[in-house]
Amino acid sequence: MTRRIALVIQYDGSSFRGWQNQKDTKTVQGTLEEKITDLDPKRPIKVIAAGRTDSGVHASGQVVHFDCSGPIPIHKWASALNGRLPPSIKVLEAVSVPSEWHACYSAKYRRYRYSIFNGSSPNLFLQNISWHKYRLSLDVNLMRTALNDLLGLHDFAAFQKAGSNRSNSMTTVQDVSILRHGDIVTVEIQASGFLYGMVRLLMGQLVAVGEKRLSLEKFKYRWRQGLRSEVKEAAPPHGLCLIRVGYEKEIFSKEKSFDTFPSFSLPIFESAKNTKNKKDL
């Protein structure tokens, strides 16, 4: 008897050549399928993801599903897989879902976070999960204005890499936010779906706005007119993380699926130092 199982997983994208299976290279999908097949070898296993992340892109709340026929109880799947997977992939939770449920097609939204380290000196502990932009201080207010203009259903052809198999470049941006915590700037974008390379191309333009190398008017004109040829800067993949996938009926516990990517707030360290100095006085 076949069962459909859904997992919410984390992975360090720097260890893989993206999500999707590729010949003779290490991918998240290939690694998962290999380890699941070890546990349920009766049939070929194919793992379907809510979003196909590019090479180097991380995920803290990726959702996948697969069909199996083995006897392993549902509550044992997470620990069984974590004992076999490399340290760069972790299963947070496993649940049973109906046969018609689909990790990709049942999803109502995907939410990505892009992290920028805007400090003047490098930080070893942030270098693999953020884009270090140190020459100029980013104007977050300008970036917020540019972001807000993206809300709604639009044609985002200007932010689509070549090689996409989508029939059109329309999608609905449901929510955007940008926050600065000291030297850390985080941008979050939630949409019904994302075009191939969309967030990284968008972030390249958004940072140019924040550095005042690109005006708000030019930013808007480029994407509204679909001028892909003028969008030449793409943000590096390691600053990007898929943090959440939403469904009409949530199937995972909130603490395992809502937002498990760590938040960094550098003023905390400064505050702790100031408190210590005051005590010394």
- Residues designated as active site: 54
Pairing of strands 89-97, 48-49: unpaired
Task: Give the count of beta carbons closer than 10 Å to the beta carbon of residue 117.
Answer: 23
Interior angle at CA 137, CA 134 and CA 140, nearest 5: 125
What is the per-residue burial (b if ≥16 Cβ within 10 Å, else e) of 18-56?
bbeeeeeeebbbbbbbebbbebbeeeebebbbbbbbbeb
* Contacts (Cβ under 8 Å, ≥6 apart) of 83: none
**Separation CA 211–CA 218 (nearest Å):** 14
* Residue 262 identity (one-letter amino acid): P
CA distances to 45, 80, 160 from 74, rounded to whole Å, are 16, 10, 39
